[in-house]
Amino acid sequence: MANLKEIRNRISSISSTMQITSAMKMVSAAKLKKAQDAITAMRPYADKLTELLQSLSASLDGDSGSKYSDDREVNKVLIVAITSNRGLCGAFNSNILKQCTYLAENFYNEKQVDFVTIGKKASDFLGKRFTVVSNHSNIYEDLTFDSVAKISEELMELFTNGTYDRIEIVYNKFKNAATQIIMTEQFLPIVPMEGAEVSNADYIFEPSKVEIVEQLIPKSLKTQLYKGVRDSFASEHGARMTAMHKATDNATDLRDQLKLTYNKARQAAITNEILEIVGGAEALNN
């Protein structure tokens, strides 16, 4: 039977852990509400912008291509890995890191693959195995469209000047607090817009369609990356809230089991003491 003092210490330690995990769950729940509202409000705008760009692009002549849609032979690939700065959020970060490793070592195994990391976890892990061109772990300190737009401009420059032939984004898409979907999206070159319907309406474009598309593409790319970061940010808090909820439940079960063990040990100790007293009394009588 375990020592009573040892069991009491374990019960006390687990109770302290429960308080921490429960507090972290409540903090993540509060942050999740704000992050969820932000990505929910943004998605309709991002989808409409993409739809408008598809409609205009589909109606352009084949010779009116954009520098952002230059589909050249892929020799150098840049992957943007979006994770969090902190852990304690289940498999949230490890799933992204596994996907990035798979892309680098299997899908693009014969290509030069470098990384741009958003989040300390991606920087720490990928930096030991691959080349990290730049790290933007401080983005979460001031997560605004303008701060993410600077990263988008950096990526667009790396593509248009020929440094990289393809740029991919890997992130967690927020579905609900318990579910995150791993997304791998081609950022550049722009994916051919198949199935886009060409409007037959007689619109007057000012300036020309080509100029409008050229202005919309950078804005659409910035919005795409910002949506990915926002999705990941909401997913992080959802994953952490779920992980801390499970940790609290597990700690509660373990504490209850230890209390039962403690009570059994205490009862056994008391019984032994009574038996010793009774045995001693009988010995004196004899």
Enumerate the active-site residues: 89
> Distance between CA atoms of 106 and 100, rounded to whole angstroms?
10
H helices within 108-208, ranges in order?
120-126, 145-160
Does residue 261 contact residue 11 with C-beta atoms inside 8 Å?
no
> End-to-end CA distance of the chain, in Å?
33
Strands (E), the chain: 76-82, 112-118, 131-135, 166-176, 179-188
Does residue 60 contact residue 210 with C-beta atoms inside 8 Å?
yes
Does residue 111 contact residue 74 with C-beta atoms inside 8 Å?
yes
Does residue 130 contact residue 211 with C-beta atoms inside 8 Å?
no
Adjacent-strand bridge partners of 80: 116, 169
> Distance between CA atoms of 6 and 261, rounded to whole angstroms?
11
Tally of CB atoms within 10 A around 57: 22
